[in-house]
Amino acid sequence: MTRILRYAATAAVFSPALLFGQSKRAKCDANNAGITLPAGFCATLFADSVPGARHLVVAPNGDVFVSAQGKSGGIVALRDADGDGHADSRVKFASGFNSSEVALFDGYLYTETTTGVLRFPMKPGSLEPAGRADTVVKGLPDKGHFNKTFTIARNGTIYLNVGSRTNSCQKGDRAEGSPGIDPCTELETRGGIWTFNARKLGQTEQAGRHFARGIRNAVGITIRPTDGKLWTTQHGRDQLGGVGGSWPKLFTQDYSAENPAEELLQVKRGDDFGWPYCYYSTEVKRLVLAPEYGGDGKKVGRCANKKQPVAVFPAHWAPNALFFYTGGMFPERYKSGAFIAFHGSWNRAPLPQGGFNVVFQPLHGDRVGGAYEIFASGFATALNQSRSRGNARPTGLAQGPDGALYIADDATGRIWKVVYSASSNE
């Protein structure tokens, strides 16, 4: 903790934006740089064309570090030196690996490579690493849902998502009528959360702790700062029925488009959220038995003993980032809930594709505090062609030291900075 405080204090010296820019509020871009926000909020396009931008973290001095996937993957560092809401410096912090996560802890920048976790030593105020990377975790299973998103607790515990290899643990993955493997042996190494020590090098999955299971893919994972509790999202399964579905004799295309719900989970040690045996039915409004294990959309069976989600959202929206706001800029109500970045769907046909937005979910402690609200939208302009060129797909969220909210998009590589004032677009 001493190193974190030392980094925060020293880093501010290198940031003209923080030293001199507080009294100068940056003007927001026309039309909020293409996105729609609630009254009182406005946005600037902080950075454009950061290829494969995924998750991001903001240093105490305002520098932004972005994980990136693809041929030019790695970490990109951004700086807004004059405080106008637009990055004017861009540095390739690290390259040569596929990355979907980034975090700052104990004087290091942590990231993942799909099979492990690296950490780079940081020099306060620098956009480049202070040395070569250490390997914190290695040898994690690849393929399938390969992103190893994680969060780090104040005590140095890494909570890491190991997504499933398959859609629903069938003997023939995504094959029509193929039964599920029972018990699903994949659950011993995937489909859950593992913990590691952020200060220890060379760890393997076998040396880590299997913290929770039955989570198909917890891309959004974070710790609520107010109480230290772990929260994740869950990407629900695909292709229940209809054309291209695994169980067309049991489920229609419309049913498959609307099921299962996406989930928000509060995760404790030993929890089991049911994948692959269960999915959340939007009709029954609870976990029901999957067809691979004898389900018909209504049977509960072994799912009666699995942990239910705290909140649910429309099917296939793909929740990719989860974030609890603690800043002083936004209205107080935003401290009583969670922001979720939805990547958007590809498999809601014959219905229009959906998602492609940032949602605010009000909470009352560990329970729902009201219906979810669309906070930011307008990212995708052709919802029936969600992967077409020009459609942004929100995938990362972070808070700046001034209380602003950053939103990253991995389709166009854009990053927005969202601020609040009584009268927006000044």
How large is the average pLDDT for residues 153-166? 98
Cα–Cα distance between 184 and 181 in angstroms, integer? Answer: 5
Question: Residue 352 CA to chain centroid, in angstroms?
Answer: 23
The pLDDT, as a whole number, for residue 66 is 98
Q: For residues 393 and 380, is the Cβ–Cβ distance under 8 A?
A: yes
Q: For residues 409 and 28, is the Cβ–Cβ distance under 8 A?
A: no
| pLDDT exceeds cutoff 90 at 39 | yes
The pLDDT, as a whole number, for residue 49 is 87
Q: Residue with structure tokens 């942990």?
A: 307
In the chain, % of residues over pLDDT 90: 87
The pLDDT, as a whole number, for residue 1 is 35
Q: For residues 120 and 106, is the Cβ–Cβ distance under 8 A?
A: no
Q: What is the pLDDT of residues 372-393, one digit of tens each?
A: 999 999 998 655 454 445 689 9
The pLDDT, as a whole number, for residue 381 is 64
The pLDDT, as a whole number, for residue 71 is 79
The pLDDT, as a whole number, for residue 22 is 39
Q: What is the pLDDT of residues 98-135, one digit of tens each?
A: 999 999 999 999 999 999 999 999 999 999 999 999 99
Instruction: Among 27-31, 117-121, 369-373, name the one with the lowest average pLDDT.
Output: 27-31
Cα–Cα distance between 421 and 266 in angstroms, integer? Answer: 32
Q: How far is CA 400 from CA 1, 11, 34, 328, in A?
A: 20, 14, 21, 11
The pLDDT, as a whole number, for residue 391 is 81
Question: Residue 115 CA to chain centroid, in angstroms?
Answer: 18
The pLDDT, as a whole number, for residue 169 is 98
Domains and CATH numbers, the chain: 26-47+134-420 (2.120.10)
In terms of pTM, does the model score above 0.75? yes
The pLDDT, as a whole number, for residue 70 is 86
**425 band by pLDDT with thresholds 50, 70 and 90:** very low
The pLDDT, as a whole number, for residue 390 is 62
Cα–Cα distance between 420 and 31 in angstroms, integer? Answer: 15
| pLDDT exceeds cutoff 90 at 266 | yes
